[in-house]
Amino acid sequence: MNRDEVTGLQKETAGSNLLYLQSGGPTAVINATAYGVIAESEHSLPEGAKLFVARHGIMGVIRGDLLEIRREKKELLRLRKTPSMAFGSTRYELCSDEDYRCVEETIRRYEIGHILINGGNGSAAAALRLQHRLDADGVNCAVLVIPKTVDNDVAGIDHAPGFPSAARHVVISVSELIRDMWSYETDLIMAVEVMGRNTGFLAAASLAAGETGPAPDLIYVPERTFDPERFVRDVREVVSRKGKCFAVIPEGVKTASGKYLFEDTTVNKGKDPSINMGGITGYLSTLLRKHFTCKIRCIDLGLMQRCAAHDASPVDREEAEQLGRMAVRLAAGGHREEMLTIRRRPGEEPYAPEYGVMPLAETAGLSAVLPEEYIGDDEHSVRESYLQYILPLLGELPAAAEMIEM
């Protein structure tokens, strides 16, 4: 069957307008991507073509709630450094024939020829399903995905925009907290919760705190089973040597039973664990207080990891914008059913990104995980080789004075 023939019907004539939408969770640089899309649209779209954005992602498309973007708005000058998601988002997934009918009606009404979805691996899978449905229904509209995530779990790329900035925030915060821990001579245990549903990229990034001072004593990752008894032994061993212990634990670690720590009913009584990811600091605090009498501080770095534009990675912001610009050029060139990619240019020192594309089918439904080569044999450490991966993405880290031994 010819690609332009679907279910025996000729496709509708494609519109010339472009639709951009943000999907899933925020990042510190997703609006830099939006800025790149808007700035490039002025130069690369066909004459007379319009750029629309959907309010609150796919829900805006379902409702026909689109905003036409014009470059002359003074707010656009600030968009590149605006935190979180300027146009709103949703985690809703198209799930019914009525949903798809509404989306197709919006596409026709606004004469949309290309949709740019700025999202993570779940959004990539949803985009592929949408493209197949549009093709099956004879709607001539092409879908492209611009990746973003803080977890860094998008498959097929070196890293996704949003991750370097979240990693930078983790590194700086951990470095500052370690120094706070050493301000007093008293024994102290700090356990810090970071994001990372199924991957340890963010937790592993905390190793880079050692570039400006002490590194964490213990770093755990979801790629390894979390044994609470072993965790207590690990902490006790460090405290016995140093009088203090600093541990980093991602929200996504699981016990041997296959459950997340936040699913523990002794801490989260009466709560449905499916409602929110994370929230393991309560569990950690309860666990540690059962075994230690010294001061204990359990800290959740929280949403600031994904929306803290004030300390975003300059590398991340630049790459996010460039992917937005590239997406518009690809749309104007007729690309469809693809995701944009960032890979490392081989043999380049210092680090240099290489932008490209890959078929959506090769990434949708897949998740990247922290490579085994970076995980220590003791299962509570990260190998130094990880620094070669993460440091070029962070940008220059704040320098600090070393006045006393820590």
Catalytic residues: 151
Extract the tokens encoding 215: 């590194």
**What is the separation, in whole angstroms, between the first and last Cα of the chain?**
69
Q: Is residue 320 within 8 Å of 162, Cβ to Cβ?
A: yes
From residue 5, give the alpha-carbon distance in Å to each of 14, 176, 205, 247: 13, 59, 48, 57
**What are the φ/ψ torsions at residue 394 (nearest 5 degrees)?**
-85, -25
What beta strand segments (E) does 16-111 contain?
A: 17-22, 51-54, 66-68
DSSP β-ladder status, 244-250 and 188-194 = parallel
Q: Encoding tokens for residue 128?
A: 């592929």
10 Å CB burial of residue 290 (0-12, 13-18, 19+) is exposed
As to burial, measured by CB atoms within 10 angstroms (0-12 exposed, 13-18 middle, 19+ buried), residue 242 is middle
> Could you give the residue ranges of the DSSP H alpha helices within 95-153?
97-109, 121-136
What is the distance between the alpha carbons of residues 246 and 206, in angstroms, rounded to a whole number?
11
